[in-house]
């Protein structure tokens, strides 16, 4: 079954998985298999005043809706584009006195769209909202209690003049919103999760820990003078490897940087299925992720257990210190942990890699670039042995390491890492994504600096020193307290 603009994919029944998507033609790495606008989307509650409610871009100065005083937009163009979806919401917020939570807002937007267009197949959709899985029958007692609270809040917010829906249908919509179907939306740099959207076609793609596709959020572009050149906010399903006609299209719902048992637990808890992918069944890469030092100095099982527990305890302390903005304390904890880990854990051990990642990020923010670069290089070396070669998170980590080396004055290594990151993100994000465009600028700049360095190393460092004296060095982004977001958003 195919529908408007989706001729390259087909919904089919996947053995043991239910519905799935399969390719109707051949795709090569980096090809866009399909792009899909959101059926409905909202900004997270904590970011409603700093993120545009149309394109989900972060902006310093936003224009507030003059009616409800709740929604914010980049400019009049974004505000006009939002009006169809915001009109009912705007009126309801005014009458209610305040905006409800993101769950309520998203469910309301879905039902206002159903009121306008019906619940059947929307244009370009392979399945209807009614056909999406809600997993309400799998909810535990606590989840059922939260569901009842959501439904009660929704009924208080929902205007009496709007179409009235039955309790069972409202529960279905909240099941769709709460579990598995909400895709996490990021800002224009892909650095922070800022909202959640429903994309019915994307929901049909099944999980695989080593997928052949990735999903990237594209905020669209409303900056062109003529509206005919504007592009819509959308997700893009992109091929990571060669895909033949008839192959199932899979994405990863969780970060691969976990042993198979932990990934399966996470998938069972959040998505209600037992992962049977090849990497989980055969525990592929688990040996690398749990690697310990080998040879004469191989540690005992008891020593390994103690160091792993120490690492877990330290990660909890680090998370607390990061939440409080105590970044020098974070660095101290990382150094202490690495001192314990290095004689015991292998270079690809996930607990070592997690500490290296945090240390390099925080040290870069504190402008201690040389130490940060050392940790970043070790982190990338480990990641390259574990991740799929075209993994988006690998590309972002390599980019970060390249920028850190560049700031440290290690131009040869920095340029090499930036080129490697650019090659990965060309496939995962495409050439027009803001991150890829930024990387292209950095690639050209570091290539120019590298040529200068190779011609006259002394003169390169003199010019670099002079430039840094005359120009305030760019501060790296403040370290995020978030772990890598899951592909699909789960309301905690």
Q: What is the pLDDT of residues 348-405, one digit of tens each?
A: 999 999 999 999 999 999 999 999 999 999 999 999 999 999 999 999 999 999 999 9
Residues 244 and 390 in one domain: no
Residue 104 lies in a domain: yes
Task: Kindly give the pairing relationship between strand 206-207 and strand 248-251.
Answer: parallel
The whole-number average pLDDT for the span 446-473 is 80
Q: In this predicted structure, what is the pLDDT of residue 225?
A: 43
Query: How much is the pLDDT for 470?
Result: 64
Asked whether residue 66 falls in the same domain as residue 209, the answer is: yes
Burial class (CB in 10 A: 0-12, 13-18, 19+), 122: middle
> How many Å apart are CA 292 and CA 299, to the nearest integer?
8
Same domain (yes/no): 338, 245: no
Of residues 162 and 470, more confidently modeled: 162
Same domain, 419 and 339: yes
Among the candidates 205, 234, 251, a domain finishes at 251
Of 224, 251, 278, the domain-final residue: 251
Residue 492 lies inside a defined structural domain of this protein? no
Q: Which residue has the tokens 């976990």?
A: 258
Which among 202, 225, 251 is the end of a domain? 251
234 and 121 belong to one structural domain = yes
End-to-end CA distance of the chain: 35
Q: Would the pLDDT of 166 be above 60?
A: yes
pLDDT surpassing 70 at residue 407: yes
Higher pLDDT, 353 or 190: 353
Cβ(42)–Cβ(109) below 8 Å: yes
pLDDT for 2: 41
Q: What is the pLDDT of residue 130?
A: 86
Handedness of CA 169, 171, 173, 179 (dihedral sign): negative
Residue 422's pLDDT band (cuts 50, 70, 90): very high
What is the rounded average pLDDT of the residues 317-337?
A: 95
Q: Is the pLDDT of residue 483 over 70?
A: no
User: Does 414 fall in a domain?
Assistant: yes
| pLDDT for 485 | 53
Specify whether 92 is located in the same domain as 38: yes
Q: Which residues pair with 235 in a beta bridge?
A: 36, 217
Long-range contacts of 222-225 (CB under 8 A, 24+ apart): 222/54, 222/55, 222/74, 222/75, 222/77, 222/78, 222/81
In this structure, what DSSP letter does residue 220 have? -
User: For residue range 199-245, what is the model confidence (pLDDT) as tens digits?
Assistant: 999 989 999 999 999 999 887 665 544 444 446 778 999 999 999 99
Domain enclosing residue 125, as ranges: 9-251
Same domain, 18 and 91: yes
pLDDT tens readout for residues 28-73: 999 999 999 999 999 999 999 999 999 898 888 899 999 999 999 9
* Closest to 6 (Cα-Cα) out of 212, 249, 222: 249
Here the CATH number for the domain that contains residue 368 is 1.25.40.10
What would the two tokens of residue 57 be? 């871009």
pLDDT tens string 63-122: 999 999 999 999 888 899 899 999 999 999 999 999 999 999 999 999 999 999 887 777
Supply the pLDDT for residue 227.
46
pLDDT above 80 (res 487): no
- Does residue 265 register a pLDDT over 70? yes
Within-domain flag for 480: no
In a domain, 137, yes or no: yes
Please count the structural domains in the chain. Answer: 2
Residues 146 and 216 occupy one common structural domain: yes
Claim to verify: residue 167 and residue 39 sit in the same structural domain = yes
Overall average pLDDT of the 178-185 stretch: 76
List, for residues 3-28, the tens digit of each pLDDT value.
445 789 999 987 777 889 999 999 99
One domain, residues 237 and 328: no
User: For all residues of the chain together, what is the average pLDDT?
Assistant: 88
Q: What is the CATH number of the domain that holds 135?
A: 2.170.270.10
- The alpha helices in 297-368, defined as continuous H runs, are 301-323, 327-341, 350-365
In a domain, 225, yes or no: yes
Asked if residue 279 belongs to a domain, the reply is: no
* Same domain (yes/no): 234, 328: no
Which residues sit opposite 35 in a β-bridge? 236
| Residue 476 counted as domain residue | no
Q: What percent of the chain has pLDDT over 70?
A: 91
Same domain, 242 and 160: yes
Q: What is the mean pLDDT of residues 115-142?
A: 80
């Amino acid at each position: 079954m195919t529908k408007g603009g989706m001729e390259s994919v087909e919904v089919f029944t996947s053995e043991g998985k239910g519905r799935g998507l399969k390719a109707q033609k051949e795709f090569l790495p980096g090809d866009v298999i399909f792009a899909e606008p959101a059926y409905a989307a909202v900004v997270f509650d904590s970011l409603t005043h700093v993120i545009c409610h149309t394109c989900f871009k972060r902006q310093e100065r936003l224009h507030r809706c003059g009616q409800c005083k709740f929604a914010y937009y980049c400019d009049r163009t974004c505000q006009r584009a939002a009006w169809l979806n915001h009109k009912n919401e705007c009126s309801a917020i005014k009458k209610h006195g305040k905006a409800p939570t993101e769950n309520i807002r998203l469910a309301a937007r879905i039902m206002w769209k159903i009121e306008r267009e019906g619940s059947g197949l929307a244009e370009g959709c392979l399945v209807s909202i009614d056909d999406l899985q809600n997993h309400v029958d799998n909810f535990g007692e606590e989840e059922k209690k939260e569901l009842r609270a959501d439904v009660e809040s929704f009924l208080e917010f929902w205007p009496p003049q709007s179409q009235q829906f039955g309790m069972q249908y409202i529960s279905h919509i909240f099941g769709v919103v709460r579990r598995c179907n909400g895709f996490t939306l990021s800002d224009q740099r892909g650095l922070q999760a800022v909202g959640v959207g429903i994309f019915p076609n994307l929901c049909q793609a099944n999980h695989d820990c080593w997928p052949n596709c990735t999903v990237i959020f594209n905020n669209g572009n409303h900056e062109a003078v003529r509206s005919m050149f504007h592009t819509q906010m959308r997700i893009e399903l992109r091929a990571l490897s060669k895909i033949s006609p008839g192959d199932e299209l899979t994405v990863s719902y969780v970060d691969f940087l976990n042993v198979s048992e932990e990934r399966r637990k996470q998938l069972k808890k959040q998505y209600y299925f037992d992962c049977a992918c090849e990497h989980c069944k055969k525990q592929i890469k688990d040996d690398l992720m749990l690697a310990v030092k080998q040879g004469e100095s191989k540690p005992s099982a008891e020593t390994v257990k103690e160091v792993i527990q120490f690492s877990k305890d330290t990660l909890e302390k680090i998370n607390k210190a990061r939440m409080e903005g105590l970044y020098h304390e974070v660095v101290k904890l990382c150094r202490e942990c690495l001192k314990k880990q290095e004689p015991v854990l292998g270079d690809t051990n996930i607990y070592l890699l997690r500490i290296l990642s945090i240390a390099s990020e925080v040290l870069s923010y504190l402008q201690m670039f040389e130490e940060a670069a050392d940790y970043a290089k070790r982190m990338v070396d480990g990641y390259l042995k574990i991740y799929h070669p075209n993994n988006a998170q690998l590309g972002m980590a390599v980019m970060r390491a390249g920028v850190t080396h560049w700031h440290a004055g290690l131009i040869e290594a920095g340029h090499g890492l930036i080129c490697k990151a650019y090659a990965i993100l060309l496939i995962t994000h495409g050439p027009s994504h803001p991150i890829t465009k930024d990387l292209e600028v950095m690639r050209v700049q570091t290539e120019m600096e590298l040529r200068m360095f190779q011609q006259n190393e002394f003169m390169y460092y003199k010019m670099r020193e002079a430039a840094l004296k005359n120009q305030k060095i760019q501060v790296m982004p403040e370290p995020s307290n978030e772990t890598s977001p899951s592909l699909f958003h789960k309301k905690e």
